[in-house]
């Protein structure tokens, strides 16, 4: 086994890369991290300079790859499978990369800040930032709703952008459920959750969901709205 994947089953950015690994049934050794333990955190910093999960260690090729997007690009290049994450067509490729950045920089970031704020102690919360994030999440929902009107995936086929979309949308939906105004975005989230690669990552996250501060059961939310 040459690939070691350092991650936590609850982590949204880890889900993003895990989807790519599961899509192509790429063999890897899972290394589950408990970054609450100072010794684990210190050891992990040696392979991930900013201390952020996920990290993919390729012992065969002698590389450590950080950043979920880069992990997926690396897999697409060196551990290629039936699902290709970056389209061969150059114009399709930049659009997929652009949507990957949209999901990370606007939806995922706003979701992560909001969840992070809810975990802070009283007195150290930041309502202004939470409000800004809420605006950005709903702005994003609107953009996504229009984009998904006539399509199943962000591009012509399942890609890097859909790997980015799945956890960002899954967790954002636990904070601000996609309501009646977003039928196409809701249907897209359902498709992502039913995709075997993400269904598997979510099933593996299930035993850890009690650590998550919100209700992580969007199936029920989706059914209720």
CB-wise, 69 or 174, nearer to ligand GSH?
69
- If one asks whether residue 53 binds ligand GSH (CB under 6 A), the answer comes out as yes
Instruction: Name which of residues 55 to 74 contact ligand GSH (CB under 6 A).
Output: 67-69
The number of helix segments (H) and strand segments (E) in the chain equals 10, 4
The nearest distance, CB 225 to ligand GSH, in angstroms, is 26
Closer residue to ligand GSH in complex, CB, 90/121: 121
User: Of the ranges 7-15, 75-83, 124-132, 139-147, which one interacts with ligand GSH (CB under 6 A)?
Assistant: 7-15
How far apart (Å, rounded) are the C-alpha atoms in residues 176 and 102? 18
* First CA to last CA distance, the chain: 45
Of residues 19-48, those binding ligand GSH (CB under 6 A)? 35
Which C-beta is closer to ligand GSH: that of 11 or that of 197?
A: 11
Q: Can you read off the two tokens belonging to residue 225?
A: 């709205």
Minimum CB distance to ligand GSH smaller for 65 or for 178: 65
Q: Does 51 bind ligand GSH (CB under 6 A)?
A: yes
Position 110 contacts ligand GSH (CB under 6 A): no
The yes or no reply on residue 185 touching ligand GSH (CB under 6 A) is: no
Question: How far is the C-alpha of 24 from the C-alpha of 79, rounded, in Å?
Answer: 9
Contact 101, 1 (CB under 8 A): no
11 binds ligand GSH (CB under 6 A): yes
165 interacts with ligand GSH by CB under 6 A? no
- With CA atoms as reference, report the closest residue to 26 among 11, 7, 5, 9: 5
The residue from 5, 13, 22, 188 that contacts ligand GSH (CB under 6 A) is 13
Residues 6+ apart with CB under 8 A from 224: 177
Determine if 111 is a binding residue for ligand GSH (CB under 6 A): no
- With beta carbons less than 8 A apart as the criterion, state whether 167 and 18 touch: no
Q: Sort residue 62 into left (φ over 0), alpha (ψ -120 to 50) or beta.
A: left
Residues that bind ligand GSH (CB under 6 A): 11-13, 35, 51-53, 67-69
């Amino acid at each position: 086994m040459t690939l070691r994947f350092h991650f936590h089953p609850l982590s949204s950015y880890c889900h993003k890369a895990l989807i790519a690994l599961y899509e192509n049934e790429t063999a890897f050794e899972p290394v589950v991290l408990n970054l609450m333990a100072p010794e684990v955190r210190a050891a992990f910093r040696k392979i991930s300079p900013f201390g952020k999960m996920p990290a993919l260690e390729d012992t065969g090729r002698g590389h450590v790859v950080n950043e979920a997007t880069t992990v997926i690009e690396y897999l697409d290049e060196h551990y290629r499978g039936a699902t290709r994450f970056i389209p061969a067509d150059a114009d399709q490729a930049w659009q997929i990369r652009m949507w990957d950045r949209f999901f990370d920089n606007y939806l995922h970031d706003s979701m992560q800040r909001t969840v992070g704020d809810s975990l802070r102690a009283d007195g150290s919360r930041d309502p202004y930032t939470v409000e800004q994030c809420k605006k950005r999440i709903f702005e994003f929902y609107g953009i996504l709703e229009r984009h998904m009107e006539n399509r199943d995936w962000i591009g012509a086929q399942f890609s890097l952008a859909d790997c980015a979309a799945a956890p960002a949308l899954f967790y954002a939906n636990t904070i601000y459920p996609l309501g009646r105004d977003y039928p196409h975005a809701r249907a897209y989230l359902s498709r992502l959750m039913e995709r075997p690669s993400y269904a598997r990552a979510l099933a593996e996250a299930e035993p850890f969901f009690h650590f998550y501060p919100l209700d992580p059961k969007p199936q029920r939310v989706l059914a209720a709205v």
